Amino acid sequence: MSSGDSVGAQLRGWDAATFRTAAGDPRMRSTVVALAVLDSTPDWERLRTRLERLTHFVPTLRMRPLYGLFGLSAPRLALDPDFDIDVHVHRYRLPDGSGWSDLLQDVRRMSLTDFDRNRALWEAVLVEGLPGGESAFALKLHHSIADGQATVMMALSLFELGPDTNPDDPPTPEVPRGEDVSLIDIARANVEDNLERFRESAEGALRAGGQVALQALGDPGGAVNVVRQTVESISKALSVPEAPLSPLWTERGTTYHFGAFEFPFEGLKVAAKSRGFSVNDAFMAAVTSGVDRYHQRYGAAVDELRVNVPISLRGDAGDRSGQASNAVAIARFELPVENLDIDERMATAHELVDVWRHAPAMRMADPLADVSWFVPVPVLAHAAKTSDITTSNVPGPPISMYLAGARMVAAYPLVATIGAAVNVTMVTYDGLACIGVSTDDRCVEDHTELVEDLRWGFELVTGDLVGPTDRYSRKAD
């Protein structure tokens, strides 16, 4: 392995900002847990082998952070010479009589437990002993190494198409062994990377300036508009509100609770298509219906809430869509929520997301996040905590998947609140829409009520009954 490989690559942009804020403020803890419910207990040795194999296809899972002198640069990710799959993977059995709430509490504790920041930033657990012979598999990842879509990409390499091993699986690639490196090696690599990044930024600025100058020769007014729109977009993206908009969700704590439910995805697709909107528009309409009902319940109606929406950059020039990593920008905007009908909710969500999707600042997310390295963590955390809710919609596999012989019956995304009061994420899987909800304990007075209101919101949009939030209660009836 060359010395360049031994020091790995520096976290950049949004990834670096996420790592730094999560390390600097416990309220910005940044974990993603993918919770798969399985119809039986998978073969443990086969599962362990599949996970070991996954780390060869996704080498990031074998990488540890390396830190420079005085913390003046973002950490690097490099292959861990002491990587051991058994440090990251374990299993246990729930006590007899345990159910859904017990599983969610265990996953909550898993999410709230910080990573060992000197080892690869992930762990996985197989939980046995669920009702009806089911089991669960939870994969926990640091958000700096994977977004929701990247997590799905990892799952596609881990899971199989049937109860037997895939006959046409590609051969497992070899991964070099990591090496020990000195602080001098890390410092030298950081200096080289920072100089290269400065060069790239300067060249990018010159190219952009040249393009504007050429445009100005033929269309001076158009060039002025491009510059003005870019400046306005960046200013809007970087603006820091004073406080959240919800009168109920004003505080932020260091703990949160999880909720989850699922329903047939077809209802959401039909609701969107029949009105000429996208699935994401219908998803956001359901979420705003639920949070509006919650606020009305407490006599605290609010016109707008501040919403975070990840905008996928996969498919853009220069993206990292071929990697299991982050490739998103975060749009933050004020979304009307009070007393709107379903069509109005879909229309407003569609318009606002579309505006941000095409905003110049979205294509500059990583450079802008790089600049945030010079902003104190408390300032970054304050900006994050002015958001009321984060919504995310991630398409998953449309067919049944298997894990070491057990069929996955549901897949729930359980994401830390990361400064917001509430996070609602949807993953679609095999005809299901699986909803994961996290609520900040300090500001959401009744977690159960909010999850029920969100379930009601999806019933309102789809026109169908949405199953109970305890997936085992229907089996007991």
Q: pLDDT band for 172, please (50, 70, 90 cuts).
A: confident
Q: pLDDT band for 150, please (50, 70, 90 cuts).
A: confident
Q: Give the span between the Cα atoms of 393 and 244, in whole angstroms.
A: 23
Local structure of residue 28 (DSSP, 8 states) = G
179 lies in some domain: no
Encode pLDDT of 300-310 as tens digits. 999 999 999 98
Mark 25-50 as b/e (b = at least 16 C-beta within 10 Å).
bebbbbbbbbbbbbbbbbeeeebbeb
400 lies in some domain: no
Query: Which of 423, 464, 458 lies closest to 440, judged by CA?
Result: 423
The percentage of the chain sitting over the pLDDT mark of 90, rounded to a whole number, equals: 58
Residues 6+ apart with CB under 8 A from 374: none
- Residue 21 confidence (pLDDT): 87
Does residue 319 surpass a pLDDT of 50?
Answer: no
- Residue 316 confidence (pLDDT): 47
Q: pLDDT band for 92, please (50, 70, 90 cuts).
A: very high
Least confident interval from 295-299, 459-463, 464-468: 464-468
Q: Judge if 140 and 278 occupy the same domain.
A: no
The percentage of the chain sitting over the pLDDT mark of 70, rounded to a whole number, equals: 82
Does residue 85 surpass a pLDDT of 90?
Answer: yes
- Residue 161 confidence (pLDDT): 92
Does residue 226 surpass a pLDDT of 90?
Answer: no
Encode pLDDT of 94-123 as tens digits. 999 999 999 999 999 999 998 998 999 999
Does residue 380 surpass a pLDDT of 80?
Answer: no
| CATH number of the domain within which 66 lies | 3.30.559.10
Q: Judge if 224 and 275 occupy the same domain.
A: no
- Domain limit, last residue, from 238, 269, 298: 238
Q: Are 417 and 438 in contact (CB under 8 A)?
A: yes
pTM to 2 decimals? 0.88
Does residue 477 surpass a pLDDT of 50?
Answer: no
* Residue range 352-381: mean pLDDT, rounded: 72
Q: Give the span between the Cα atoms of 59 and 3, in whole angstroms.
A: 17
Encode pLDDT of 29-42 as tens digits. 889 999 999 999 99
Pairing between β-strand 389-394 and β-strand 422-429 as defined by DSSP bridges: parallel
DSSP string, 355-381: HHHT-GGGGGHHHHHHHGGGS-HHHHH
Q: pLDDT band for 476, please (50, 70, 90 cuts).
A: very low
DSSP string, 49-118: HHHHHHHHHSGGGGEEEE--GGG-SPPEEEE-TT--HHHHEEEEEPPTT--HHHHHHHHHHHHHSPP-TT
Q: Judge if 232 and 261 occupy the same domain.
A: no
Q: Give the span between the Cα atoms of 412 and 184, in whole angstroms.
A: 43
Residue type, 192: E
Within 13 Å and on the Cβ side, how many CA atoms surround 266? 4
190 lies in some domain: no
Q: Judge if 353 and 436 occupy the same domain.
A: yes
Q: Judge if 119 and 8 occupy the same domain.
A: yes
Q: Judge if 278 and 200 occupy the same domain.
A: no
- Residue 474 confidence (pLDDT): 60
397's enclosing H/E stretch is none
Q: Give the span between the Cα atoms of 411 and 409, in whole angstroms.
A: 7
Q: Are 130 and 94 in contact (CB under 8 A)?
A: yes
Instruction: Give the position of tokens 């881990």.
Output: 158
* Residue range 276-285: mean pLDDT, rounded: 97
- Residue 257 confidence (pLDDT): 97
Q: Judge if 75 and 219 occupy the same domain.
A: no
Q: Judge if 41 and 103 occupy the same domain.
A: yes
Does residue 206 surpass a pLDDT of 60?
Answer: no
Q: Judge if 291 and 320 occupy the same domain.
A: yes
123 lies in some domain: yes
Residues of the domain holding 314: 256-394+422-476
Distance from chain centroid for Cα 392: 8
- Residue 194 confidence (pLDDT): 77
Q: Are 330 and 364 in contact (CB under 8 A)?
A: no
454 lies in some domain: yes
- Residue 70 confidence (pLDDT): 72
Tell me whether residue 409 is exposed, middle or buried, using C-beta atoms within 10 angstroms of its C-beta: 0 to 12, 13 to 18, 19 or more.
middle
Mean pLDDT of the chain: 85
Q: Judge if 431 and 286 occupy the same domain.
A: yes
- Residue 368 confidence (pLDDT): 62
- C-alpha distances out from residue 401 to 37, 152, 411, Å: 11, 12, 10
Does residue 209 surpass a pLDDT of 50?
Answer: no
Structural domains of the chain, count: 3
Q: Give the span between the Cα atoms of 452 and 175, in whole angstroms.
A: 46
Least confident interval from 6-15, 38-47, 365-374, 403-412: 365-374
Q: Judge if 205 and 68 occupy the same domain.
A: no
271 lies in some domain: yes
3-state secondary structure of 279: helix
Q: Judge if 226 and 316 occupy the same domain.
A: no
Higher pLDDT, 367 or 30: 30
Does residue 471 surpass a pLDDT of 80?
Answer: yes
3-state secondary structure of 432: strand
- Residue 433 confidence (pLDDT): 97
Q: Give the span between the Cα atoms of 421 and 441, in whole angstroms.
A: 9
Least confident interval from 10-24, 27-41, 269-283: 10-24
Query: Which of 176, 189, 184 lies closest to 76, judged by CA?
Result: 189
Does residue 372 surpass a pLDDT of 80?
Answer: no
Pairing between β-strand 402-403 and β-strand 406-415 as defined by DSSP bridges: antiparallel
Other C-beta atoms closer than 10 Å to the C-beta of 125 total 18
410 lies in some domain: no
Least confident interval from 188-192, 256-260, 276-280: 188-192
53 lies in some domain: yes
